[in-house]
Amino acid sequence: MGAYSGKNVVITGGSSGIGFGIAQLLADGGARVMITGRSQSTLDAACEQLGENTVAVRSDVAALPDLDALADRVEDEFGTLDGLFVNAGITRTMPFAATVETEYDELFAINVKGAFFTVQKLAPLLNAGAGVVLTTSVANVMGMAEAGVYSAGKAALRSMTRSLARELLAQGVRVNAVSPGPVDTGTLENTMTAAEAAQFKAERVAENPMRRFGTPAEIATAAAFLAFDATYTTGAELVVDGGATQL
């Protein structure tokens, strides 16, 4: 019997990075895990690593028909849910003056609208006692250069955590947020040159009280705590950032 045996969970963006870390922790602990993402090959590879209790579903959080289909799939596979990790998100850095409408819209469509409707579509399947955990970011309380749109989106998620927590209270469902500091998941290299990414990482390490990045496993531990152990906690945000925004 693992710590999460008997739990059915969905992790959006569970095929890589932080979401994969959450999936790994819960699958190893005996949960039945459904991960979503946009790339079938990445999902297949993740599913193979996670083992037989994992199902991978290709689903774009920004497309409402995909979320409807995801809800149907959850109902077919699991019936109901005990944990929902609203983790899918993209990171973009762009100077305020050079930001164009399409970049703004894409960030909000995935990181904000996607999160809101993920919870809305899957909420009817959540058991009493279930936990929802949204992945926000320390960017939501900082004035980070070139991250205005991303940070505003994460601040919207922080706010949404409180209002969704209020609305789902009647259903016996808690809603909290985990707020990661810097975690090296390889995503910086997708949006920056290797040299820019190396410089960015060196700066984050130098300014962090613990002088290092966090790991997906460390974020996963906090997320699982919020979902399953923090039974008197709702509407809260747990910061996991090596003390960067606290000390």
Q: Which residue among 4, 104, 150, 232 is the active-site one?
A: 150
Is 60 an interacting residue with respect to ligand NAD (CB under 6 A)?
A: yes
Among 8, 54, 87, 208, binds ligand NAD (CB under 6 A): 87
Among 8, 24, 36, 161, binds ligand NAD (CB under 6 A): 36
Beta strands in 15-171 (DSSP E): 32-37, 54-58, 81-86, 126-135
Candidates 121, 124, 127; CA nearest to 7 is: 127
- Matching residue, tokens 């290709």: 58
Rounded to 5°, angle at Cα 21 from 49 and 236: 150
Is 61 an interacting residue with respect to ligand NAD (CB under 6 A)?
A: yes
Is 150 annotated as catalytic? yes
Structure tokens at 139: 């960017």
Instruction: Give the dihedral sign, CA 213/18/185/110.
Output: negative
**Distance in Å, CB of 109 to ligand NAD, minimum:** 8
**Distance in Å, CB of 210 to ligand NAD, minimum:** 14
Cα 125 to Cα 228: distance, rounded to the nearest angstrom: 16
Cα 230 to Cα 236: distance, rounded to the nearest angstrom: 10
Among 24, 151, 161, 185, binds ligand NAD (CB under 6 A): 185
Among 88, 112, 123, 149, binds ligand NAD (CB under 6 A): 88
Active-site amino acid positions? 150
Residues forming the site for ligand NAD (CB under 6 A): 12-13, 15-19, 36-39, 60-62, 87-91, 110, 114, 135, 137, 180, 182-183, 185, 187
